[in-house]
């Protein structure tokens, strides 16, 4: 039932589309045919009017045309009085010529035959109103309704739309394409206009107006026949094409849709119906693609099941690795509860399950405490494993009486020997003498530490950074020192702090870090690091964390008495 419904909807969409296309074809065909047929009929009638016009022109010789044309011209210019005009109209000669025009009009079924003098200056001086604008002065007029017929000397305006073609005809004596169509009491009319020479480079205009009596009925009949024929062809074409679509397009598409739904509903069980679609076109290609997709999907699901199981195993192992890494870093605070002269606090937030950053703090001997902050290049398990090696080597080689420069020199050579992955470590180590306050340090390409003198804000302490660890064998590192007083603090960190990035790709940076340390300087070191991390989180907001964030802070609280 569902398939029939889908089929019906698809069929109706095709039918609707073809109906719209059919209506467009019918409309375009009828409009185009109507206009062409109408133009052809109009031309036939206009040709007939011109034939009559030429016949009428043969009824008046050039001398007579010149005589009466000059009279009409002079009268229009005020050089002929009405009494003279009346005498000419009453003359046998004038009445004889007019009678010939009347006889021709009646025999040919025309509405009007007229001869006028056209004043071109007046004709082309139209100012938008017909009041006082009379470019035509009549010589003869044989209008079908006698009471409305003009006589010699009468003047009249014309349709302003006909100014340009009338000017061309009078000037050149040649026919134009304008049919001078008009509507009157006699229906739909067309006018032919020719010139009758009157000498002195001037012409009379002879016009014949005839009714296009059959044009409306002919056009109506043509339109009906065209509509009926086009409608029949379009309906027949739609019916044939829809039947073809049902068999060759819609039915195969429904089969593809049905088999795809069955594949989903029956837990990826495949059938052979898709293989039986043989349309030889894109639909067959579609069915083959769907069939291949089903095969690939089944294979993918099998592989995904295996991969998921493997990922779950790896995930469980990473959880163990995370716990192991966390347990390797000292995380019990206070760091040295039995030693009240110093306090150390540290935090690390890895970007992945396991990180490449590490920190460390330990007692070198009874009067010296060491802090370490380091960052391994890279992320994930390889960096974490290299971190374990680096942390172990640094702690093992930091012994009483050994210069920190020598410690990093030896650790660097050992790391270079087992660095097949090409990793390196930036590291900072400092050892505080609790008795004297001397803080000796060594820096292998690590970040600039901040130092807060008692009661003052944190300031970056510029130190020269040596080359990174594991970057090159044979590097000699040098240590330096600074004297700390009770109440002084040393803050060190990894680049994950200053390079924390928000959604606009702006870095947290040294300036924000310095401001954060200044803002929270009055807090204890156990409160200071979480407060700085909170400022970083607020800056980063919803942007993902790309690097490990590690911080360590040492506070020299008081001098230790010598043993």
Residue 22 counted as domain residue: no
CA pair distance 517, 525, nearest whole angstrom: 11
How many structural domains comprise the chain? 3
- Is 323 part of any domain? no
HSE value, Cβ hemisphere, 13 Å, CA-based, for 132: 3
Q: Are residues 378 and 478 located together in one domain of the fold?
A: yes
CATH number at residue 391: 3.60.40.10
Q: Same structural domain for residues 311 and 404?
A: no
Identify whether 261 is part of a domain: no
pTM (2 decimals)?
0.49
pLDDT of the residue at 8: 55
Domain end position, chosen among 150, 180, 213: 213
Quote the CA–CA distance of 282 and 91 in Å, as a whole number. 90
Q: Note the pLDDT of residue 275.
A: 67
Domain containing 150 equals: 58-213
Spatial distance between the Cα atoms of 8 and 12, rounded to a whole number of angstroms: 6
- Does one domain contain both 529 and 397? yes
Mean pLDDT by runs of 10 across the 563 residues of the chain is: 51 75 81 80 86 90 87 84 88 92 91 90 89 91 88 90 89 83 74 82 83 71 76 80 72 73 70 69 71 73 74 56 65 90 93 79 96 88 84 94 95 89 93 96 96 90 92 94 96 95 94 95 94 96 90 95 74
Within this chain, do residues 284 and 391 fall inside the same structural domain, yes or no? no
Both 314 and 333 in one domain: the answer is no
Q: Let me know whether 411 and 310 are in one domain.
A: no
Do 488 and 535 have their domain in common?
yes
Q: What is the reported pLDDT for 267? A: 62
For position 80, what pLDDT does the model report?
Answer: 81
**Contacts (Cβ under 8 Å, ≥6 apart) of 147:** none
Q: Does 21 reside within a domain? A: no
CA dist., res. 194 & res. 415, Å (int) = 112
Q: Are residues 435 and 383 in the same domain?
A: yes
In a domain, 46, yes or no: no
Dist CA 250 CA 84 (whole Å): 90
Please state, in angstroms and as integers, the Cα–Cα distance from residue 452 to each residue in 361, 411, 496, 517, 559, following that order: 19, 30, 21, 9, 17
d(Cα 194, Cα 113) in Å, to the nearest integer?
11
Q: Contact, 545 vs 353, CB < 8 A?
A: no
419 and 525 part of one domain: yes
**pLDDT at 107 (0 to 100):** 92
Asked if residue 526 and residue 386 are part of one domain, the reply reads yes
What pLDDT score does 1 carry? 42
- Here the CATH number for the domain that contains residue 136 is 3.30.450
* 415 lies in some domain: yes
Regarding whether 540 and 405 lie in a shared domain, the answer is yes
pLDDT at 7: 47
């Amino acid at each position: 039932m569902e398939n029939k419904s889908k089929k019906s909807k698809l069929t109706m969409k095709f039918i609707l589309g073809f109906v719209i296309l059919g209506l467009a074809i019918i409309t375009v065909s009828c409009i185009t045919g109507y206009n062409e047929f109408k133009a052809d009929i109009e031309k036939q009638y206009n040709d007939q009017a011109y034939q009559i016009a030429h016949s009428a022109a043969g009824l008046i010789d050039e001398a007579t045309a010149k005589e009466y044309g000059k009279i009409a011209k002079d009268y229009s210019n005020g050089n002929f009085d009405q009494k003279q005009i009346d005498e000419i109209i009453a003359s046998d000669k004038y009445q004889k010529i007019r009678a010939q025009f009347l006889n021709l009009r009646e025999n040919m079924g025309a509405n009007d035959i007229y001869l006028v003098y056209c004043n071109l200056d007046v004709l082309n001086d139209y100012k938008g109103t017909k009041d006082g604008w009379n470019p035509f002065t009549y010589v003869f007029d044989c209008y079908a309704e006698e009471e409305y017929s003009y006589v010699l000397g009468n003047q009249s305006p014309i349709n302003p739309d006909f100014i340009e073609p009338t000017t061309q005809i009078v000037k050149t004596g040649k026919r134009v394409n304008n049919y001078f169509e008009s509507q009157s009491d006699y229906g739909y009319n067309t006018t032919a206009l020719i010139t009758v020479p009157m000498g002195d480079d001037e012409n009379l205009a002879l016009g014949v107006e005839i009714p296009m009596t059959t044009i409306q009925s002919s056009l109506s009949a043509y339109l009906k026949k065209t509509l009926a024929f086009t409608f029949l062809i379009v309906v027949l074409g739609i019916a044939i094409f829809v039947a073809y679509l049902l068999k060759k397009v819609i039915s195969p598409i429904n089969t593809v849709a049905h088999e795809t739904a069955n594949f989903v509903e029956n837990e990826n069980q495949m059938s052979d119906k898709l293989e039986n679609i043989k349309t030889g076109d894109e639909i067959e290609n579609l069915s083959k693609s769907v069939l291949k997709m089903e095969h690939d999907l089944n294979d993918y699901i099998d592989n995904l099941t295996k991969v998921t199981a493997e990922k779950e195993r790896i995930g469980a192992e990473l959880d163990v690795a995370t716990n192991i890494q966390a347990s390797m870093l000292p995380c019990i605070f206070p760091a040295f509860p039995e030693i009240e002269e110093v306090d150390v606090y540290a935090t690390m937030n890895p970007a992945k399950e396991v990180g490449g950053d590490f920190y460390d703090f330990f007692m070198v001997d009874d009067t010296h405490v060491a802090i370490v902050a380091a960052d391994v290049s890279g992320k994930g398990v390889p960096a974490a494993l290299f971190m374990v090696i680096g942390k172990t080597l640094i702690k093992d080689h930091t012994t009483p009486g050994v210069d920190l420069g020598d410690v990093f020199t030896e650790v660097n050579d050992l790391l270079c020997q087992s660095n097949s992955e090409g990793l390196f470590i930036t590291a900072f180590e400092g050892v505080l003498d609790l008795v004297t306050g001397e803080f000796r340090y060594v820096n292998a390409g690590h970040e600039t530490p901040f130092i807060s003198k008692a009661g003052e804000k944190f300031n970056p302490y510029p130190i020269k950074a040596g080359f990174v660890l594991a970057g090159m064998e044979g590097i000699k590192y040098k240590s330096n020192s600074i004297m700390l007083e009770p109440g002084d603090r040393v803050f060190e960190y990894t680049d994950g702090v200053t390079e924390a990035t928000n959604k606009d790709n702006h870095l947290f940076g040294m300036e924000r870090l310095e401001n954060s340390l200044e803002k929270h300087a009055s807090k204890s070191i156990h409160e200071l690091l979480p407060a700085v991390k909170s400022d970083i989180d607020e800056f980063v907001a919803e942007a993902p964390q790309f690097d490990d964030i590690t911080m360590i802070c040492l506070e020299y609280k008081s001098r230790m008495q010598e043993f």
